[in-house]
Amino acid sequence: MRATAGLAGAAALMMLAAGCGGGGPQGSGDSKLTDDKIVLGVLNDQSGVYADLSGRNSVKAVEMAIADFKAKHGDKAVTSDISVETADHQNKPDVANSKAAEMYDRKGVDAILDVPTSSAALKVADIAKTKKKPYFNIGAATTELTGKSCNKYTFHYAYDTYMLANGTGKTVTEQVGKSWYILYPNYAFGQDMEKSFSAAITEAGGTVVGKDGAPFPNESGDYSTYLLKAAGLSPKPAVLGTMQAGAELVNVVKQYNEFKLRDKGVNLAVGLMFITDVHSLTPAALAGTTYTDAWYWNFDEENRAFADRFLKETGVRPTFAHAANYSAATQYLEAVQAAGSDDGDAVVKQLEGKTVNDVFLRNGKFRAEDHRVLHDAYLAQVKPAAEVSEPWDYVKILKTIPAEEAFRAPSSECQMS
């Protein structure tokens, strides 16, 4: 997995070439851009609980994609004027709604990317539909984006609650314990996680003996009431499944360890985890924890080459959200290049049904029926501290979950419009 500088450069060129766009390149003289430029909007949490897992470093990932696109196409690029607008939605749906409208209407944004926090993500999907401009959701997990809230201009890119539950819920129930207590953040993401995990646990022969929704955001950071409740239930759950993410997950795990719940027979299962979470908590706090990942930076040489570049730019290794933002920006730009136009309908036409392999999308496909972007997923496990050989290499991949198995079939609730 060690990449020399030469290998990193070669892998970068491979990333640019792999699966990028159908049709021949359109030179700037042939383009039909509405204003002779392309503006990408990154809308996410840059100051709160999800800032580390995505945040401003996702802006950097999109900037890297732009630089690579320009290097690949040179003077045949559809335009050399490509820029990024960014805003902090503060994990608030009303702020996300107004910022998205401002991006499309006043900032000249052609496509919005990222948008963690499911309640915020759903608002942006509505705006994208109204404005008829593409939206690539990376950071939110709700399956509603490919269900009753699907629309022609929204693509759900990286992961969703079904993918997470299908991997972690099933595996932990079969291998660790069949009785669960589920703690979830009480908003769209957490509610969807609870529903998806409960279904996966039941299907695997387990039961949910208790569940609670904690406030989101949890300003106090205190989860002691829920953790002590879980330990005191009768029958006592074998597994505590926490569905919190980012800084809130960090708080739950710290308190789980403080109360020594593992010693009391309550094992920990994490619904959603990023490499930044493991870095904050340290592998010692999470050793042996199994979870489902959408991408891992040290999975192979191609991922490592991208991660080495990202490390030089940011000082940290990329999460799957960073890699997915890079990929989504790349695939959007390639679709514009192939269409010779930034018209939303033309871009969507280029993407629907497209198969692709890039640094994030392995066996990737833009499913036309519901705009779920399929790709391989991974069952991962945190290494014991003694097995960590370098900073950030905290995980071993136990199993690759094939793209067609990782995500649910198209929902009848999705009426594409």
pLDDT in tens, 228-254: 999 999 999 999 999 999 999 999 999
pLDDT tens for residues 96-144?
Answer: 999 999 999 999 999 999 999 999 999 999 999 999 999 999 999 999 9
Q: How much of the chain exceeds pLDDT 90, in percent?
A: 91
Cα separation, 177 vs 378, whole angstroms: 21
Q: Is the predicted pLDDT of residue 414 greater than 50, yes or no?
A: yes
3-state secondary structure (DSSP) of residue 257:
helix
Q: How much of the chain exceeds pLDDT 70, in percent?
A: 93
Q: Is the predicted pLDDT of residue 12 greater than 90, yes or no?
A: no
pLDDT of residue 29: 44
For residues 260-276, give the mean pLDDT: 95
pLDDT tens for residues 144-192?
Answer: 999 999 999 999 999 999 999 999 999 999 999 999 999 999 999 999 9
pLDDT of residue 170: 94
pLDDT of residue 9: 46
367: phi > 0 → left, psi -120 to 50 → alpha, else beta; which?
A: beta
Give me the domains of the chain, ranges plus CATH numbers.
Answer: 5-159+300-375 (3.40.50.2300), 162-297+379-406 (3.40.50.2300)
More confident residue, 409 or 18: 409
For residues 56-81, give the mean pLDDT: 98
With beta carbons less than 8 A apart as the criterion, state whether 43 and 100 touch. yes
Cα separation, 123 vs 228, whole angstroms: 36
With beta carbons less than 8 A apart as the criterion, state whether 121 and 77 touch. no
pLDDT of residue 271: 96
pLDDT of residue 32: 82
Structure tokens at 68: 């690579």
pLDDT of residue 336: 98
pLDDT tens for residues 275-323?
Answer: 999 999 999 999 999 999 999 999 999 999 999 999 999 999 999 999 9
Instruction: Please tell me the pTM assigned to this model.
Output: 0.90
Residue matched to tokens 């990942």: 293
For residues 52-79, give the mean pLDDT: 98
Question: Which residues are CB-contacts of 313 (< 8 A; sequence separation ≥ 6)?
Answer: 60, 64
Q: Is the predicted pLDDT of residue 31 greater than 80, yes or no?
A: no
Q: Is the predicted pLDDT of residue 3 greater than 60, yes or no?
A: no
Cα separation, 411 vs 413, whole angstroms: 5
> CA–CA distance from 129 to each of 119, 156, 199, 251, 345 (Å)?
16, 14, 31, 37, 11
pLDDT of residue 323: 98
Q: Is the predicted pLDDT of residue 19 greater than 80, yes or no?
A: no
Q: Which pLDDT band holds residue 84 (cuts at 50, 70, 90)?
A: very high
> Average pLDDT of the chain?
93
Question: Which residues are CB-contacts of 239 (< 8 A; sequence separation ≥ 6)?
Answer: 172, 173, 176, 177, 179, 180, 181, 266, 267, 268, 269
Question: Which residues are CB-contacts of 128 (< 8 A; sequence separation ≥ 6)?
Answer: 100, 104, 112, 134, 135, 151, 153, 154
Structure tokens at 152: 């022609």
Q: Which pLDDT band holds residue 417 (cuts at 50, 70, 90)?
A: confident
pLDDT of residue 363: 98
pLDDT of residue 30: 56
Q: Is the predicted pLDDT of residue 11 greater than 50, yes or no?
A: no
> CA–CA distance from 245 to each of 8, 217, 241, 388, 397 (Å)?
31, 11, 12, 23, 20
Cα separation, 152 vs 369, whole angstroms: 10
User: CB 126: neighbour CB atoms within 10 A?
Assistant: 16
pLDDT tens for residues 67-79?
Answer: 999 999 999 999 9
